[in-house]
Structure 1
Amino acid sequence: MKKYIKYIYGIVTLLVIVACEKNDPITELGVTNGQYAAQLRVTYNNTRPAIGDTLIITASTWQRDDKYSKVVFYETIFETFGLKFSLENGTVINTKEVEVNDITFPTLLITDTVKNKSVLRTIDASEMDSHWVTVSNSYAIREEYIFKKIDGDYPNNSELVDKLTAVEFDIVKSVLAYGITRDDYLALFPDAPSSHFTTGGTYVLTQEGINNLKANLSKAMLLPLISQLEKTGSYSIRIDVDAITPTGATTSTTRTFDNNI
């Protein structure tokens, strides 16, 4: 009977030990050499920062074997925009919001990448100990990032027209052909015959006039007629953070913040 009691006692003790064992959440295997990947959580003090604001980025990370190669912060900056411009004689064009039959849709959206995953800061393994937080049993790395507007390849004025590719300018001409006023068309083509104009309806130009504008309008002709031009769309900043082990196992987070142009 004592044997059975000892046996039962042993099983109960084992179950208690197993039940009391710390549940270690760090069990994700890295992709190289079986090494455990780091865990990574990134928080921000502001989820909707405006241009000029200072964003506080805090990267909290821990790794089962406490092995790191480095932690890296990156920035990517890009604009996604259409063109909104006016001509001297009443024409107004917005390639981001073209309305047809009460339906609004974009006809030309340009993406201009100002910076592509540019390194903001690198914390090497030798520096990690200075970021150790005993209470949380993890490393906490804080980075201050100032939101600022950096110009890309496309200026926010009429000079932007010269930067358009041939394909982009063809789209602008197509939109313009259906939205131009009679006076602006005559300013571009003073000798245009009456067959280029409709006598009423939705569009000013006939198909002949539309085809003429698409075929013959150049940037040099259009630029002097532009009274105002601006980009309309979003200015976006993406923050990436990588926690990298010595074998290259990488844990990443990413967050994109958008502002109107």
Structure 2
Amino acid sequence: MKKIYILLSTLLAGFFAGCEKNDPITELGISNGEYTAELRVTYDNTRPAIGDTVIVTASTWQRDDRYDNITFYETIYETFGLDITLEHGSNFRTVAETYTTLSVTDTILAKRAWQTISHDELMQYWVTNTNNYVIPGEYVITMQEGKYPSNGSLIEALPDNEWQVLKSIVAYNINGTDFEAIFPDAPDETVSGATVTAEGRAYVRNNLSRQELAGSVTQISKLGTYNVVIEVEATTPTGAITATTRTFTNNL
């Protein structure tokens, strides 16, 4: 009888342990001495184009129903290379499918809040049949201009490191006619016929200014992606944060 009692106690303990393990409430993490919130975020359009509206819906619950706020953030950045053509046909393309020689990242907006729901406002979003808060938000994917417009001023705005890289690209790809138009007084040994020599390439790297290159540009465009990051955070009064992010990408 004693053996049967011990076996039954062991089975019951295992049963209750199994129940506790599968309880979603007890799986909530603890941060800053408080249970973090559960957070699920859905989007009605997962491939929005520029100009489209995305409905962002946050569903959340927390073991003790303790919230400070639910906040929706946006971060916008571009990552791009350049396609440049000079007046006598020289072309410099710094990014392609198989290689990248120059890439620039421009953060246009850095984690800006576009919707915040405070603790006092949360009750209007409570859904009884699902026992959670359901908070929708409308976000419009807009094209915002960064530090680098698609014109000659982009060259003058490049950081120094990127400018040095671009000068090397120009040095190895400029034709003799564009070289002589930019450097009419360069030594004879810098050009041989229509070809820029090794001395000429060194001359470009050592002497080309941003203003000289920008003044010779007939076409410049950015090749890359325009990226919008949506982040939603559920924050408790002690600062415990649960967050999710989604990035939407469009070609420039």
Tell me what 1:195 maps to. 189
Unpaired segments ≥5 residues, structure 2: none
CA deviations on 1:36-62 (whole Å, 9 max, x unpaired) are 110000010111111000011000001
Which whole-Å CA distance do the structure 1 matches of 2:32 and 2:104 have between them?
Answer: 39
Which amino acid is the alignment partner of residue 175 of structure 1?
A: I
Are 1:230 and 2:221 an aligned pair?
A: yes
Tell me what 1:67 maps to. 66
Task: Trace 1:126-165 onto structure 2 (pairs within 5 A).
Answer: 126-165=120-159
Which amino acid is the alignment partner of residue 210 of structure 2?
A: K
Tell me what 2:32 maps to. 32
Contact 1:30 1:250 in 2 (8 A): no
Aligned pair partner of 2:244 in 240, 245, 253 = 253
Deviation at 1:66, TM superposition (A): 1.1
Tell me what 1:4 maps to. none
Tell me what 1:91 maps to. 90
- Identity value in percent: 47
Structure 1 stretch displaced more, 116-125 or 191-200? 191-200
Are 1:215 and 2:193 an aligned pair?
A: no
CA deviations on 1:52-102 (whole Å, 9 max, x unpaired) are 0001100000111111111111000001111111001011111123xxxxx
Which amino acid is the alignment partner of residue 32 of structure 2?
A: T
User: TM-score, normalization: structure 1?
Assistant: 0.86
Which amino acid is the alignment partner of residue 228 of structure 1?
A: Q
CA deviations on 1:233-254 (whole Å, 9 max, x unpaired) are 1100001111111111111101
Tell me what 2:170 maps to. 176
Deviation at 1:192, TM superposition (A): 3.2
Change (3 A) 1:192 1:39: same
User: TM-score, normalization: structure 2?
Assistant: 0.89
1:156 aligned counterpart, secondary structure: coil
In the TM superposition, structure 1's runs of 4+ consecutive aligned residues that sit over 4 Å from their partners are: none
Which amino acid is the alignment partner of residue 229 of structure 2?
A: R
Which amino acid is the alignment partner of residue 225 of structure 1?
A: S
Deviation at 1:205, TM superposition (A): 2.1
Which amino acid is the alignment partner of residue 216 of structure 2?
A: L
Which whole-Å CA distance do the structure 2 matches of 1:36 and 1:221 have between them?
Answer: 60
2:30 aligned counterpart, secondary structure: coil
Which whole-Å CA distance do the structure 1 matches of 2:88 and 2:39 have between them?
Answer: 57
CA deviations on 1:91-121 (whole Å, 9 max, x unpaired) are 1111123xxxxx9311111111011001111
Which amino acid is the alignment partner of residue 176 of structure 2?
A: R
2:129 aligned counterpart, secondary structure: coil
CA deviations on 1:161-207 (whole Å, 9 max, x unpaired) are 1111222211111001111111101101123344223569xxx3222
Which amino acid is the alignment partner of residue 249 of structure 1?
A: A
Unpaired segments ≥5 residues, structure 1: 2-6, 98-102
Which amino acid is the alignment partner of residue 71 of structure 1?
A: I
For these two proteins, the number of residue pairs brought into alignment is 246
Which whole-Å CA distance do the structure 1 matches of 2:192 and 2:133 have between them?
Answer: 71
